[in-house]
Structure formats: structure tokens, C-alpha cells
Structure 1
Amino acid sequence: MAEVPRRGAESGPGWPEEPVVAAPRPDWRETLRTASDLALLGIVVALVSLPVVTVGAAVATASAALHTWIETGSWPGLRPVLRDFRRAVIPGILPTVLAGIAAAVLAVNLLALTRGVVPGGVPLIVVTAALTAAAGGFAGLTVVRLGQQGGPGWRDAVRGAAGCVRVRPATLLGTAGTVALATLLCVLILPPLTPILVGYTLFGLHATTRRLAGPTPS
């Protein structure tokens, strides 16, 4: 590792210069391994979510595992992951149903507006699209909070997300943009790669939240 000489704040005549050790950059193998891990994470989440009622548990468990990887540099073992998933199945059913209903209502309204079935024109389309993006961003922020608190506890995650938005409103814009971009890629450009994009979207949500609100938003 290269050492970059730098004079410390207390340095002066007679004081030795303090070397600063530059952090090594990850090589292509580490980058490829990270990309593969995230792709595999997305595929596993998609497969576990096939029964539909397990979507909430799958997302919560994946978010918690991803948070552990971000914090420690290693993924949790299979046994604790399965334990967390079992604990999250029942609490995750209601959030899954509510999220599905909300997504369906917003999607139907947006589709009806764009096709002219419902009057309102461009202004109402813009408002509905903005509400849809905000709802997606808040859902993404809630998923991040679930991971940061270890998986279970949807109410606490929602309260944490709401508190984060009050303190750092830009966080909602960041997570909304992440979800909107992922949705655009899945629907319009890369539908077959949707399972893989799930892992990258989760990582993007965690990275965006840490960037805009810090490691633990409040």
C-alpha cells in the first residue's frame, strides 16, 4: 500500500511528518465478486417471493443480510438467515398486502390518466406520477430501515423512515429515484433481468440512504 506523507495538525519545526496510508482500491476480482453476490441475492429474493405472501419476509431478510455485509464485509450464515426469515413471514404478510393494493391503485390511476379514460390531463398525470414515485421511495426507505434494525418490526421501520424524511427530506428523493430507475429498467428495458436487478436495487437503496442520511437515519 502506498504511503502519502502529510504533516499532522500538531506538526512544526522538529516534528516528524505523519504518513497517511492510502486505502487499497478493490481489484476487478473483488468487483466481480460483489456484482455476483448482489445478483444472487436478487435471484434468491425473487424465488422466495414466488408464493407472494412471503414477499415481505424475503425483502426484510435480504435487507438485513445486505446491511450486515455492508457493515462487516461478510454475509451472515445460512442458519441465522433462515431463522430471520421464519420470524419475518407472518409479520410481513400485512405489509405485502397493503403495498400490493397501493401499487395496484396507483398503477391503474396512472394508466387510466395516460390513456385518457379519466379526465385530468398532463397536470394530474404529473401529480399521480410524483405520488407514485414518493410512495416507492418511502417503501424503499422503510426496507432499508428494516435491514438496519435486523429485519423484523415493520412499524418501527415505518416510523424510522418517516423520521428520516422529516430530518433529511433529500433522502426520499434519492430512494424514489432509485426505485423509479429500477422500475423503468425492469418494465421497459430489461424485464428478464428483473430478479437480478432486485439485488442491485436493494444495494442502491442502502447506499443512497447512507449517503444522504448517514448509516442510521432517525
Structure 2
Amino acid sequence: MSATRDWRDTLREATDLALLGFALALAALPVLTLAPAVATASAALHDRTVSGSWPDARTTFARFGRALPAGLAVSAVGFAVAGAIGADLVALATGRVPGGGPALAVTAVVGVALLGYAGLVAVAVGHTDGRGWRAAARTAARTCPARPGTWVAASGVCCLAGLLAVLVTPIAVPILAGYALAALHAVAARRPLTRSEAP
């Protein structure tokens, strides 16, 4: 017979996610360490889901160290793509390039779709101990067309997190990061893509 959960368990999990968000934000302060920080936090969430407990500090620091080399490159590519899409949106919105409303809408949809894809990559890399970005990117690329609802939900989580990050006080943004990553894991866990479904 399983133990019943009460408000203290919920409060403990909420606090754990907030602390995870602060740890993620602290590790991402050098900016290019964002991807390794996300990979490490995602792996910790995966451990919590599978085993019911968080990894110890030694395991977490070791994962972060192993995630750094490839993660720095992933961060650079991510920032470059985000910068390019942001520049396109600004140019279209201000009328500096032709296209008007339709081109602006298409660019915005592409940006939102890429956000959802990036969120699924973050979840997938957590399943591989915070390493294996290429494999995670391939897994997410298979998941998007095979599970469009999951892709849309992940995009929604990322957009909502971005909107809330603008609206809340700056001190609450790291807390939001922990909750957003947990929401992405929850979305992906509803109907995960198994290897047998891969083309």
C-alpha cells in the first residue's frame, strides 16, 4: 500500500524545483554555460522522476563538467539562432524589410516551433545523463512530427515561461526556470517516443 501524499510533500517538491531553478540560473551566469546548466538540471529531473530522489552534489558537478565541452557549442548555436530570428522579427515589425504581417506571422510561428523543439531537446538530453546533444536533437526531431501534440505543448510551455519571465520580478525568474523545465519533462512523459517507433 503506497503512502498517501499531503501538503508537505507538495511544498517539498515546489521548494526543490525552485532550488533547481536557482542552481540552473547560477550555473548559466557565464551565458555560454546555459546549455550545460540546462542539461545538468534536466538530468537531475530525470533522476527524480525515475528513482524518486535527486542526485547528490558530486554527481551533479561531475555531470556539469562533462556537459561543458559540447554544451558551450550548443549554447553558441542556440544564441545565434535566437539572435537571427529576433533580428528578423524586429526588421519585419518595423517595416525595414518587405513582407508585412504575413511574413511576421510566419517568422513568429517558426520561432515558437523552434522553442518547442529546443524544449524537447532539453528533456531528451536529460535522459542521457546530460550528454549526447546530437542524439537528443535527433530524438526531438523524431518526436515533433510523430507527436505533434507534444511539440505544440512544449512550445506552449516555452512561450508561457517567456511571457511570465517578462511579467514577474527578476528574482522569481530562476524559480520559473525550474518549473518550466519540470513542465517540459511532464509534457514529454505523457507520450514519449520510444526507439521502436523511430524511423
TM-score, normalised on structure 2? 0.92
The match for 1:106 is 85
State how far apart, in whole Å, the 2-side matches of 1:130 and 1:191 are. 27
| Pair 1:148-2:127 in alignment | yes
The match for 1:56 is 35
The match for 2:173 is 194
The match for 1:84 is 63
State how far apart, in whole Å, the 2-side matches of 1:46 and 1:105 are. 24
Q: Which amino acid aligns with 1:111?
A: V
8 Å CA contact 2:143, 2:193 repeated in 1: no
Q: Residue 121 of structure 1: which of 100, 103, 116 is its match?
A: 100
Q: Give the match's secondary structure for 2:35.
A: helix
The match for 2:110 is 131
The match for 1:174 is 153
Q: CA deviation at 1:24?
A: 5.7
Gaps of 5+ in 2: none
1:132-190 deviation digits (Å, cap 9, x = unpaired)? 10110000000100011211110010011111123212221111111011011112x11
State how far apart, in whole Å, the 1-side matches of 2:169 and 2:132 are. 31
Q: Which amino acid aligns with 1:127?
A: V
8 Å CA contact 1:185, 1:191 repeated in 2: no
Q: Which amino acid aligns with 1:88?
A: A
What is the 5 A alignment of 1:34-73?
Answer: 34-73=13-52
Gaps of 5+ in 1: 1-20
8 Å CA contact 2:41, 2:126 repeated in 1: yes
Q: Which amino acid aligns with 1:74?
A: S
State how far apart, in whole Å, the 1-side matches of 2:76 and 2:169 are. 23
Higher fraction of helix:
2
Structure scoring higher RCO (CA < 8 A, sep ≥ 6) equals: 2
Aligned-pair identity in percent equals 44
State how far apart, in whole Å, the 2-side matches of 1:208 and 1:191 are. 26
Q: CA deviation at 1:29?
A: 1.1
Q: CA deviation at 1:111?
A: 2.2
Q: How many residues align?
A: 196
Structure whose CA Rg is larger: 1
1:16-74 deviation digits (Å, cap 9, x = unpaired)? xxxxx6x6653111111111110110111101111122111111010000010011111
Q: Give the match's secondary structure for 2:71.
A: helix
8 Å CA contact 2:47, 2:54 repeated in 1: yes
What is the 5 A alignment of 1:198-213?
Answer: 198-213=177-192
State how far apart, in whole Å, the 2-side matches of 1:93 and 1:204 are. 24
State how far apart, in whole Å, the 2-side matches of 1:214 and 1:34 are. 26
Q: Which moved more, 1:51-60 or 1:202-211?
A: 51-60
State how far apart, in whole Å, the 1-side matches of 2:164 and 2:83 are. 19
The match for 1:185 is 164
State how far apart, in whole Å, the 1-side matches of 2:19 and 2:77 are. 27
Q: Give the match's secondary structure for 2:191.
A: helix
